[in-house]
Amino acid sequence: MDRGILVVFEGIDGSGKSTQREMLAGWLAEQGARCAMLAQPSDSLAGRMLRRATHAHRRLSPETELALFLRDRREQARSVIRPLLAQGVVVLLDRHYLSSVAYQGALGLDPEEILRRCIRFSPLADVTFLFDIEPNAALARIRKHRSADPFERLDYLVIVRRMYLEWVARIPNAVVVNAAAEGRVIAAQIRETVGRLVTTRGLGSGQNGLRCAGEDPIPGCVRPSGRSSLHPV
């Protein structure tokens, strides 16, 4: 069995999951747990193709988009996530296959089929936090900082949210978080759940014997542009 812990953050854009993920990383470092911040899409070739299309405000066909998300996910699972889990690292993953079920399912692709394909090769998360929020409130948060990208349209996000809430029941170890609640309340809820896992696996206070301060990043776990990083302890 893997010694590490896979924690997944899911939710529509603007739900606040990235902020909470960073807060959790800081807290885990204080506990002496070694942790890696990863995201999907990742920095694989397929992931970069997806990001280029998003930044050019272009949407690919639903089928092409799904094929690229799946290729990216498979590659990241094999070359980055599984090796980290085997080394006792707490992996904080921004989006996993429930994103494909909700976002590509909302475009008319079969969510059952997406789930079935992803489960075949994806590592099972120890906990998945679904950040649930009204799409209007989420878009208002986004627009405070930047303009919305092609995934961030109200009518689309309304369906994506519905898909998330419908399909989360099929994800083992999933917790729905009220993302409209105060940040510190959400942070406490997340710490309690993840803290319990860290204690059970003996990964805190350097007990795992892995401290990464001064070490090189684990190969494949890169730091550029904030997409993925190894959090120092």
Binding interface with ligand TYD (CB under 6 A) = 13, 40-41, 54, 69, 94-95, 99-100, 103-104, 151
Q: How far is the CB of 138 from ligand TYD (least distance, A)?
A: 11
Tokens of 5: 């812990």
Q: How far is the CB of 172 from ligand TYD (least distance, A)?
A: 18
Q: Measured between alpha carbons, how far is 23 from 186 in angstroms, rounded to an integer?
A: 10
Dihedral angle sign, alpha carbons of residues 215, 216, 221, 223: positive
**Shorter beta-carbon distance to ligand TYD: residue 32 or 62:** 62
**Shorter beta-carbon distance to ligand TYD: residue 41 or 204:** 41
Q: How far is the CB of 71 from ligand TYD (least distance, A)?
A: 11
Angle of the 17-30 helix axis to the 183-201 helix axis, nearest 10: 50
**Shorter beta-carbon distance to ligand TYD: residue 88 or 135:** 135
**Shorter beta-carbon distance to ligand TYD: residue 2 or 94:** 94
Q: Measured in whole angstroms, how far is the alpha carbon of residue 111 from the centre of its chain?
A: 18
DSSP summary character for residue 57 = T
Dihedrals phi, psi of 189, to nearest 5 degrees: -60, -45
Q: Find the Cα–Cα–Cα–Cα dihedral 13, 48, 221, 141, rounded to 10°.
A: -20
**Shorter beta-carbon distance to ligand TYD: residue 2 or 10:** 10
Burial class (CB in 10 A: 0-12, 13-18, 19+), 59: middle
Q: How far is the CB of 233 from ligand TYD (least distance, A)?
A: 25
Q: How far is the CB of 229 from ligand TYD (least distance, A)?
A: 14
